[in-house]
Amino acid sequence: MTSRKKKNRKQRRAIEAALRNAQAAREAEKQQEPDPGEDPEETPAAVPDAEVQTAQQEPGGIGRLKRYLFHRSLTEILVYVLILTAVVFAVFAFRRESVRRSEMKEMLEELKPEPIPEEEIAALEAAEQAARDAEQAAREAELTSQKAAEQAAREAAEKAAAEEAARLAEEERIRNLPQRIVFIGDSRTVQLEKAVEYDKSFCYFSAEVSMGYDWMRSTGVPQADSLIGNRTAVVINMGVNDLANAERYAEYVNELYASWSRRGARVWYMSVNPVGDHASVTNEQISQFNSVLREKLNSGIGWIDTNSMLMKEGFTAGDSLHYDNKTYQKIYDHVMRTLGVTA
């Protein structure tokens, strides 16, 4: 590096000397009178012999440069000097850029972060995973809470709807509660009247022992007809004495329904109830009678299925046909629940 600098300084000194010599030659040229017919630019400047000898004695490239400059005009010399100066500046600029890049590389190497230990990387990854897990758990908890709130809202709405439906049903039940109940039947209805306690202003019985279809048409219905009007519930319990008349009962009761429903009354038929070990009546016959009635009766006529209730809960019939007071109370309570009078 030091030898190169010395060589560059020697070259600069040689160039400066050559420029000084060229300037001296130019001044000497001005002192001479030029020939009018001759172009002064084409005539080379006279160089003193002492300088020529000195240039010839210079070794290497410096001597050749001086000899070359001695035979050139000042303009050419200036051009060459500018070119040489541009080259020198380009070299210096290239070196400065190289130095700058080298320094930048060193600076980047210094700024390059040191590798993070694997333990720290693992700890950072664990912390990030824990944060993600916590965020996921928070979202799931929020979603669970939202679902629970929605479920609670639905349950509250369903409960409110059920309560409203129950209220409306109760209002409808109260509006449809009968103001009077008229029982029409045979000996079983007679004993029902005797076995239970009832409000005589609310319940009326048109019943006769050992009676059937003919009595119902001729007497049972006519003696109760005047009591049947708006919000009257008519409960018919006929047939155990003449099970063969199922279709005639159905046809007649349908006629009564057409008339009584126009008055605002509601007609119900109570099933023929079971017997014990009776000599002439069987439960199979009773079941067949009930099936025919249910099939033939108008759909607007209500059916009170006390037969199934007694077969399920049991009954007591001393003579296999008529019940004890406890069984009649079961029948009466079932009828009242069906009519909506009691819960």
The better pLDDT of the pair 17, 87 is held by 87
Cα–Cα nearest to 251, from 285, 215, 283, 292: 292
What average pLDDT does range 117-124 have in this prediction?
84
pLDDT the model gives residue 42: 47
pLDDT the model gives residue 64: 62
33 has pLDDT over 70: no
What average pLDDT does range 149-159 have in this prediction?
92
Q: Is 327 left (phi over 0), alpha (psi -120 to 50) or beta?
A: alpha
Q: What amino acid is encoded at 289 in this protein? A: F
Q: Which residue has the tokens 């679902």?
A: 147
Instruction: Tell me the pLDDT tens digit for each residue of 165-182.
Output: 989 887 877 877 899 999
Name 240's Cβ contacts closer than 8 Å, sequence gap at least 6. 186, 188, 272, 273, 275, 281, 286, 321
pLDDT the model gives residue 103: 83
285 has pLDDT over 60: yes
Average pLDDT, the chain: 85
Own/partner pairs for 34-43, CB < 8 Å, 24+ apart? 41/73, 41/75
Range scoring the smallest mean pLDDT among 59-68, 106-115, 314-323: 59-68
pLDDT the model gives residue 109: 76
Q: What amino acid is encoded at 39 in this protein? A: D
What average pLDDT does range 222-247 have in this prediction?
97
Instruction: Tell me the pLDDT tens digit for each residue of 82-107.
Output: 888 888 888 888 888 888 888 888 88
pLDDT the model gives residue 219: 98
Torsion (CA) 67, 68, 70, 74 in degrees, nearest 10: -160
147 has pLDDT over 50: yes
224 has pLDDT over 50: yes
Backbone dihedral angles phi then psi of residue 83, each to the nearest 5 degrees: -60, -45
What average pLDDT does range 266-281 have in this prediction?
96
Q: Tokens representing 294?
A: 């249910």
Q: How confident is the model at residue 57 (pLDDT cuts 50, 70, 90)?
A: low
